[in-house]
Structure 1
Amino acid sequence: MATADDDYNPFSEDDLQKILHEEKESSREEGWKFLRKNDLCEVWCKNEEDKPVHLIKGFLSFPGIPPDKIVELLYDLERRKEWDTAFPIIDLVETHKHYRVVYWLAKMPIGVTDRDIVQHIGMRRDEAANMTYFLYKNATHEKYPAGDTGTIRGETILSGVIVRPDPSDPGSTKMSLLLQNDMKGWIPHMIVNAFASRAPETWRDSLEKYYHEQYAGKK
Structure 2
Amino acid sequence: MESSRPGADPAQHPSAGVFKAEHPEGWGRGALAAQTPAPTAEMLPATFKLCAAISYRHLRNMTGLRRQAAVAISQELSRLACRSAGPGAWINQVRRRSSLLSSRLEEKPFSEAEMSYIKQGEEALQKSLSILGDQDGWKTETVVDNGDKVLSKVLPDVGKVFRLEVVVDQPLDAVYSELVDNMEQMGDWNPSVKEVKILQKIGKDTVITHEKAAATPGNIVGPRDFVSVRCAKRRGSTCVLAGMATTYGAMPEQQGFVRAENGPTCMILRPVAGDPSQTKLIWLLSIDLKGWLPKTIINQVLSQTQVDFANHLRERLARTVAVSC
Q: TM-score, normalised by structure 2?
A: 0.59
Rate the CA distance shift 1:14–1:120 in 2: closer, same or farther, 3 A: closer
CA contact 1:60–1:200 (8 Å) conserved in 2: no
Q: Which residue of 1 aligns with 2:262?
A: 156
Rate the CA distance shift 1:5–1:33 in 2: closer, same or farther, 3 A: farther
Shift of 1:137: 0.7
The one-letter code matched in structure 2 to 1:21 is S
CA–CA distance in structure 2, aligned partners of residues 178 and 131 of structure 1 = 16
Q: Which residue of 1 aligns with 2:231?
A: 122
| Structure 1 stretches of at least 4 aligned residues deviating more than 6 Å after TM superposition | none
SS in structure 1 opposite 2:267? strand
Rg larger for: 2
Pairing 1:170-209 to 2, within 5 Å after superposition: 170-209=276-315
Shift of 1:12: 6.3
Shift of 1:68: 0.6
Deviations 1:50-79 (A, max 9, x none): 33x41100111112x000100011011243
CA RMSD in angstroms comes to: 2.0
Shift of 1:164: 0.2
CA contact 1:100–1:121 (8 Å) conserved in 2: yes
Q: Of 126, 132, 135, which aligns to 1:26?
A: 135
Shift of 1:202: 1.2
The one-letter code matched in structure 1 to 2:242 is L
Pairing 1:30-179 to 2, within 5 Å after superposition: 31-38=137-144, 39-51=146-158, 53-63=159-169, 65-75=170-180, 76-97=182-203, 98-109=205-216, 110-111=218-219, 112-127=221-236, 130-146=237-253, 148-179=254-285
Q: Which residue of 1 aligns with 2:74?
A: none
Deviations 1:11-40 (A, max 9, x none): 36554343223323332xxx3212232333
Q: Which has the higher strand share?
A: 1
CA contact 2:125–2:243 (8 Å) conserved in 1: no
Instruction: Extract unaligned runs of 5+ from structure 2.
Output: 1-107
Rate the CA distance shift 1:107–1:5 in 2: closer, same or farther, 3 A: farther
Rate the CA distance shift 1:91–1:78 in 2: closer, same or farther, 3 A: closer
Higher RCO (CA-CA < 8 Å; seq separation 6+): 1
